[in-house]
Amino acid sequence: MSLRSPLGRVLGLGSAKHGTAHWWGQRVSAVALACLGLWFVVAIISLPGFGHAEVVAFISHPVNALLLMLLSVAMGYHSWLGVQVIIEDYVHAHVLRLVLLFLSRFAHIFLGVAAVFAILKIGLGT
């Protein structure tokens, strides 16, 4: 017995093909983070110091600013996907689960925007 709907059988299209979006998003951001993370570790090691002047000089360099923004966005996205799965796995109370999923998404967007704003502010020197 086929479980496909009569319409689906006629059209021959199957699902909407979006079922793997979450999985793919996690892998794509993981590959991006492997590259950006490696760069960040090297950058941290080669930083002359962690004082305000040194750090601002580092962030305001255009290449560093660009890579830091990409790192922040990729990190926020990857973290959001991961935390979402953890909440879905362990929080079973419907309302609490929904509230936490909302909060997690808001927090990740907030942090991503805050990071990009801070980098731009330092980079543009205003």
Partner 1 sequence: MTNNDRPLSPHLSIYRWPVTMASSILHRGTGLALAIGFIVFVGWLFDAAMGPDTYAAFTGFMGSGTGILLLVGWSYAFFYHFCNGIRHLVWDSGRGLGKRASTTSGWLVIILSIVVTALFWLVVS
* Residue 70 CB burial class (10 angstroms; 0-12, 13-18, ≥19): middle
Residue 36 and residue 123: Cα distance in Å, rounded? 19
**Closer of 11 and 117 to partner 1 (Cβ):** 117
Interface with partner 1 (CB under 8 A), residue total: 32
- In angstroms, give the least distance from the CB of 54 to partner 1: 10
- In angstroms, give the least distance from the CB of 5 to partner 1: 31
CA distances, 104 to each of 82, 93, 101 (Å): 10, 16, 5
Residue 122 and residue 126: Cα distance in Å, rounded? 7
Q: Which residues bind partner 1 (CB under 8 A)?
A: 27, 30-31, 33-34, 37-38, 41, 44-45, 50-52, 55-56, 59, 68, 72, 75-76, 79, 82-83, 86, 111, 114-115, 117-119, 121-122
